[in-house]
Amino acid sequence: MKPSIAIIGAGLAGLTLARELSEHADITLFEKARGLGGRMSTRRREQHRWDHGAQFFTARSRAFKTLLRPFIDSGAVVEWQPNITTLNPEQAPYKRPWFEPHYVAAPGMNGLLKAISPGLNIALQTRVETLEQHQGKWQLFDDKHEPLGEFDWVISSAPLPQTEELMPFEASTWAGFGMLPCYALMLKVDDHDLPVWDAAQVNDSPLRWIAFNHRLPGRNRELGAVVAHSTANWAAAHLEDDQEQVTHILTEHFCALTGVAPEAVQEAQLHRWRYALATEVENDPLGHEPQGYVLDSERKLAACGDWCLGGRVEAAFTSAHRLAVQLKQQGL
């Protein structure tokens, strides 16, 4: 009889883990949101779309390239070759080259997750609030303390603070890991009002990144959709500020940096990512790379995610892939 595994979170890490263990265990994924994605989610409003979390990803490891290959062949993942610039309030813009392939999912960043997920048992809009162990099984309960089932293993792929709160590990387990906030400003602007470049790295500003989302491959180029991300430091300092005021301030900075007239901004939305960016994870004293996951084989608990390896989309995959390999090696 196969062991049962509850995986909390249906972002890239959770889906990767479920996909790689599906032949070895009966798996249920629990996702608190209405859809897949986590920080690879896509916001929709009428016909407009904003990829308000991750904007792109790279593929450096052989394992991640292997995962992506069929999705590149099918068009679900497309290489992005933008005209990218660097902006600074006090300096003239200058072109910024990229020296490795960058990819996006189409028609939205959550398209990769939708391509990975068929055949997986996913419970959406289900928040796992507590765990209790009884006779060798883990019992899960939602935020109304209604039972969600019992499982041999529980693995969290949720952001670090949520994992830390939920999973019964010692506090010292999380030493060396961290996550930082970010604001995502989403604007509706006609394409003819925007500069000719496609994306910009921003320096010396509350904003750190601007992309004309509708110019990404697979999007509707006629529906102007801008995504601008704040710096982590600015977001942390203003995390509890009035959100309308935050929207106004960031929109003003966007207009000043790009030359877009304020009246050209037809609509502005804001998303507050409390746990957006993972801090760098240091090597051990001997210089060994972090293992990339947290595992307690005796109690059958584990955690994985991009925060285990210092961020990036590929880090989420790598963390889950390494954990899956370890679990299979030890026979779950």
CATH (domain of 82): 3.50.50.60
Range scoring the smallest mean pLDDT among 14-18, 35-39, 249-253: 35-39
pLDDT tens digits, one per residue of 89-117: 988 888 888 889 999 999 999 999 999 99
Which backbone phi and psi does 124 adopt, to 5 degrees?
-85, 165
Matching residue, tokens 């007239």: 261
Residue 197 phi, psi (nearest 5): -70, 165
Residue with tokens 């709160």: 165
Side chain identity, residue 309: L
Task: Please check whether residue 264 is in contact with residue 291, taking contact to mean a CB–CB distance below 8 angstroms.
Answer: no
10 Å Cβ neighbour count for 163? 25
Structural domain total, the chain:
1
pLDDT exceeds 90 at position 284: no
pLDDT of residue 85: 96
Q: If you average pLDDT over residues 19-46, what whole number do you get? A: 92
- For residue 2, the model assigns a pLDDT of 93
pLDDT tens profile 184-237: 999 999 999 999 999 999 999 999 999 999 999 999 998 999 999 999 999 999
Contacts of 49 (CB under 8 A, 6+ apart): 42, 43, 107, 108, 213, 214, 219, 220, 223, 225
Domain extent for 53: 4-329
Single out the residue of 279, 179, 272, 275 nearest to residue 229, CA to CA.
272
Mean of pLDDT values over 307-316 = 92
Could you give the count of Cα atoms lying within 13 Å of 165 in the half-sphere of its Cβ?
A: 8
Radius of gyration (C-alpha) of the chain in whole angstroms: 21
Look at residue 285 and tell me whether its pLDDT is greater than 60: no
Look up the pTM and report it. Answer: 0.94
Distances (CA, A) of 73 to 66, 76, 260: 12, 8, 37
